Structure 1
Amino acid sequence: MRRTVILADTRAPADVHGVHGTEGLTQWACLARRVGLNGAWEAVEWARIPPGGVSGEHRHTRTEEVYVLLAGHGEITLDGRPHPVRAGDAVLTGLGTRHGLRNLGTRPLEWLVIEMPAAPAPVPATVPAPRAPVLHHAVVTNLRRIGPVDPRIVLTGPLRLLEADSLPYGGRLPLRADRVEHTLFVTGGSGRAAIGDDVRVPLVPGRCLTLPLGSRALVVAGVDGLSYVHAELLAPAGPEPEGGGSR
């Protein structure tokens, strides 16, 4: 069966007030969610807060979350400890980590959100011992400076690769969703995606391309190159690939 990709963009975000109990405006767009995907995605989202804006502190009890900062700079609080963040940084928050984000700059702060369920706790074979406390853990890294991240350094769920990269003019990135599903968010430049044999889709900043299991796409950079954030999530239809996903 032929599978088509999911296309979304940030051109018409929703205005949301009081996110996570905090006063103020957040602009938000859902780019992909579980419907139509095989992998255990919760959602891929984009958000923006104005200068001085806050995305309130909160704790996830079921899902793990990744923030990739796209523009601006600010401060993220992780279990009560503040950490400076700016464009290019990625924040991986494990199950139970309390986190909130504040814009400290003079321009809007934008970020990409990838949320997925944590792995279920193993079922004990004998009478269970008293339940251990949830480990609170998080990592802040810079994808542009440090390079690709294997999310398993923090997360227990199905996310297998997180990277920020770019292609020069004419550069190509083949994506095949054989054992993983892909999401690619364009952060700069331009290009196109060839989907199957007959569909060509322009790629511009703010556009997101998500590939369900069984689909494929060829990403080609335009004259000014193409910059993007790319993530791979293990899908349940095949064995886990060695060293990340397949391309």
Structure 2
Amino acid sequence: MTTAPTARPGEADVRPAGPPDSRPHAFRSIGTVAGAATVHGVHGAAGRTHWKCFAGRRQLDSPTEAVEWASIPPGGLSGEHRHTRTEEIYLILQGHGEFLFNGVPHRVGPGSLALTAPGNVHGLRNTGDTDLDWWVVETLSPGTDAVLSGADLTPGVPAMGDAVIYDLFKERTVSTDGVFTGPLRQIEAVDLDAGQRTALGRADAELAVFVHSGEGRATAADGTAADLSADTCVTLGADTLTRFEARTPLRLLVVTLALPQLSAEAS
């Protein structure tokens, strides 16, 4: 990631530049929480959950199951369930609640980042008086990815661990080393003042970027541009560079999703 001097925002539209066959796939997906589905009984829990999937295996090259948003009302519960094949983060966007990890509740609020490795049971309860919203990124563990791809690997049964919860808004950057073994390598909070810009991109990884607050604009190297507002999520292809410009104070949440073959070559 690099930070550049201030720049003038462009028009409010989304437009590609150049012939389609010549454009790199900078934006793998882009969407907002508008039109989120209402799901009842998620993971066997009573009540309803609002849910939106931004990207999955069809949009991404990394072993990523899904990039999603979810919300439960006051008193709501996202049911406890065991992770046997994926690694998953919950990043609380707004509201307050309890992250349930192997039967033990942990208080969480905006900026709380919970990591769940395979072998563990997790869930989320809304204990506040407003909706509890969170960002979800779920990736395949190496064992699961090997099974799905037909590789000659028999994964073992991972042991249950301790709860791993960070305050991302305070720590700014969190590495998953020692907890995850798959493609989800890092989570970062990036704050820009009005008029500032930054460039995001990795040669060996895709990026998932969620707009936590503020307004701005994202422009890819090929000229493709999109207006940004709170609760917008974009996923960016590997080996691309996208400029983010802030029209108002802008907070971006950025997840690094490594492409195993590229990260191996880079090392």
> TM-score by structure 2 length?
0.82
Correspondence 1:136 to 2:156:
no
Are 2:256 and 1:239 equivalent residues in the alignment?
Answer: no
**Distance (whole Å) between structure 1 residues aligned to residue 164 and residue 263 of structure 2:** 27
93-102 or 209-218: bigger deviation: 209-218
Of 157, 168, 175, which aligns to 1:150?
A: 175
1:199 Cα offset (Å): 2.2
Matches within 5 A, 1:63-102: 63-102=86-125
Mapped partners of 2:200, 2:134: distance in 1: 23
Shift of 1:176: 2.3
Aligned counterparts, 1:124-203, within 5 A: 134-137=158-161, 138-203=163-228
Q: In terms of mean alpha carbon deviation, does 170-179 or 149-158 score higher?
A: 170-179
Query: Are positions 1:217 and 2:242 aligned together?
Result: yes
Query: What are structure 2's unaligned runs of at least 5 residues?
Result: 1-21, 147-154
Are residue 13 (structure 1) and residue 36 (structure 2) matched?
yes
Structure 2: how far apart are the matches of 1:133 and 1:7?
36
Runs of 4 or more off by more than 3 Å in structure 1? Answer: 239-242
The two structures, once aligned, show a CA RMSD in angstroms of 1.9
**1:3 is matched with which residue: 3, 15, 25?**
25
C-alpha distance 115-184 of structure 1, shift in aligned 2 (>3 A) = same
Counterpart of 1:128 in structure 2 is none
- Size of the alignment, in residue pairs? 233
**1:40 corresponding residue in structure 2:** 63
Displacement of 1:41: 0.8
Deviation per CA, 1:208-228, whole angstroms, max 9, x where unpaired? 110122433111111x21112
Give the strand-richer structure, 1 or 2: 1
Unaligned runs of 5+ in 1: 124-130, 243-247
- Matching residue of 1:107: 130
1-10 or 52-61, which deviates more: 1-10
Cα distance in structure 1, aligned partners of 2:207 and 2:156: 34
Checking the alignment, whether the CA contact within 8 Å between 1:177 and 1:211 is kept in structure 2 is no
Q: Deviation of residue 53 (structure 1)?
A: 0.2
Q: 1:198 to 1:161 in 2, by over 3 A?
A: same
Asked if structure 1 preserves the Cα contact closer than 8 Å seen for 2:205 and 2:263, the reply is no
- The one-letter code matched in structure 2 to 1:182 is L
What CA deviation, in whole Å up to 9, does each residue of 1:92-117 have, x standing for no partner?
00101101100000000000000001
Corresponding residue for residue 9 of structure 2:
none
Partner of 2:164: helix, strand, or coil? strand
Report how far residue 180 of structure 1 moved: 0.7
Post-superposition offset of 1:133: 5.1
Secondary structure of the structure 2 residue equivalent to 1:102? strand
The one-letter amino acid of 1:9's match is: T
Which moved further from structure 2: 32-41 or 21-30?
32-41
SS of aligned partner of 1:35: coil
